[in-house]
Amino acid sequence: MEDLIRALQIFAKYDKPALPTSCEHDALYVHIEADKVTDDDKRDLLAYGFDVDKPLNNFYSTRFGSA
């Protein structure tokens, strides 16, 4: 749970979308534009279980997502 909270705190630095997340096919998606996130934060997000979805330019986690 702490890793999810830390990841969400990083995402909150970049944007405040009205609909920030969605789940699909056992993945949690966070709708923050990946190209706006620093490499350091991307590295931390990866450690917390989030990776970049390059075609969608956002983030996803199979660790926290379940549909």
pLDDT at 67: 59
C-alpha dist (Å) from residue 47 to 6, 38, 41, 61, 67: 10, 14, 10, 11, 22
Q: What is the pLDDT of residue 65?
A: 75
Domain range list for the chain: 2-61
Least confident of 3-7, 22-26, 57-61, 63-67: 63-67
pLDDT at 23: 92
